[in-house]
Amino acid sequence: MATTPNRPKIFITRQIPENGVKLLKEHFSVRINKEDRDLTQPELLKKLNGAFGVISMLSNKFDSELLSKLKSLKIISNFAVGFNNVDVKAATERGIAVTNTPDVLTDATADLAFGLLLAVARRIAEGDRLVRAGKFKGWSPMLMLGYDLVGKTIGIVGAGRIGAAVASRGKGFGMKIIYFSRRRNDEMEKLGGEFASLEQLLKQSNFISLNVPLNDATRNLIGKKEIAMMKPNAILINTARGEVVDENVLIAALKKKKITGAGLDVYVNEPKINPDFFKLDNVVLAPHLGSATFKTRAKMAELVARNAIAVLKGKRPPAVVNPEVLGRLSGKK
């Protein structure tokens, strides 16, 4: 795509909804990676030569080495609520703003978490496979029995906006809500949620939903000790980040039926998935669909565009991860 002379250059690492592209083109010279794949680090470096901003995906790694070579870059506008793909400290040291897309994907992700919960509890994906294989021989009193939700306990790990939205859906299904977080949460309390330690939550919950960001404190938050605390009929749902769970421990627990099942939307080495998961009937695997609705992705596209526009116009963006750099950006050449 041809660039417009004398306008700041923005590069978009994957195709995003057109509303966001249109907004960016009103202010900048925009180029887009038209290939339906992630760029390699050398390709990313080449494409970002001379760029003032990048609309990045969670799969694009901006480490200190790459950032040190991007002399003109002023903003990394991440098309995600997470930003663990960016070395924020290194970006801040170089005066590069890092922004994300919180809030707009809350309901879509909570819906997906509950969809996975229902799919595992009622064995929907397993039933679909049975029907497609021609093995359904008619109704039977003992055919593919699953678990009720009403009256059961859902444990919410992480009491942010998404966690509260999952809890709200749990309340709608008549479930008891307990939650674990660094501190008590007013929204959770309004929903009738009970504050608990992680150990208490794991021991008491029939369903466990992980809704925490990935950081040093949450990496492998759910490991061997934690899974051993869960009920034998517990179902684990992860729409957070794959690294929050020790996948090898989870696979072993699912194989041995230490817990009943799991619903996963995220993985440690995404998009590569541990093939042992494919051999298990008691896990439902989704291809990172948390925010994948037309409305949500359009809102994300608008927000990443507005974040980039604001920063490059010397204004405060709607959602910034490292606000301390904003005062320095107006003088950066």
Q: How many domains does the chain have?
A: 2
Q: What is the pLDDT of residues 273-327, one digit of tens each?
A: 999 999 999 999 999 999 999 999 999 999 999 999 999 999 999 999 999 999 8
Active-site residue, selected from the candidate residues 43, 126, 194, 270: 270
Q: Does residue 4 lie within any of the structural domains?
A: no
> Strands 283-285, 261-264: parallel, antiparallel or unpaired by DSSP?
parallel
Helices (H), 218-319: 224-229, 247-255, 294-312
71 burial class (0-12, 13-18, 19+ CB within 10 angstroms)? exposed
Are residues 122 and 221 located together in one domain of the fold? yes
Active-site residue, selected from the candidate residues 241, 297, 302, 306: 241
Q: Does residue 2 lie within any of the structural domains?
A: no
Rounded to whole angstroms, the Cα distance separating 43 from 318 reads: 29
Active-site residue, selected from the candidate residues 31, 219, 288, 328: 288
Active site residue 241: yes
Q: 264 forms bridges with which residues in the sheet?
A: 238, 285
Are residues 149 and 236 located together in one domain of the fold? yes
Q: Is 76 helix (H, G, I), strand (E, B) or coil?
A: strand
Whose tokens are 């298990």? That residue is 280
Which DSSP symbol is given to 293?
A: S
Q: Is 149 helix (H, G, I), strand (E, B) or coil?
A: coil
Q: Does residue 302 lie within any of the structural domains?
A: yes
Q: Does residue 311 lie within any of the structural domains?
A: yes
Q: What is the pLDDT of residues 108-140, one digit of tens each?
A: 999 999 999 999 999 999 999 999 999 999 999
Rounded to whole angstroms, the Cα distance separating 202 from 228 reads: 9
What pLDDT was estimated at residue 328?
73
Rounded to whole angstroms, the Cα distance separating 175 from 194 reads: 12
Q: Does residue 112 lie within any of the structural domains?
A: yes
Are residues 190 and 144 located together in one domain of the fold? yes
- Residue 45: which domain range? 9-104+294-329
Rounded to whole angstroms, the Cα distance separating 269 from 212 reads: 18
Cα angle for residues 202, 117, 147 (degrees, 5° grid) = 80
Active site residue 270: yes
The CATH number covering residue 220 comes to: 3.40.50.720
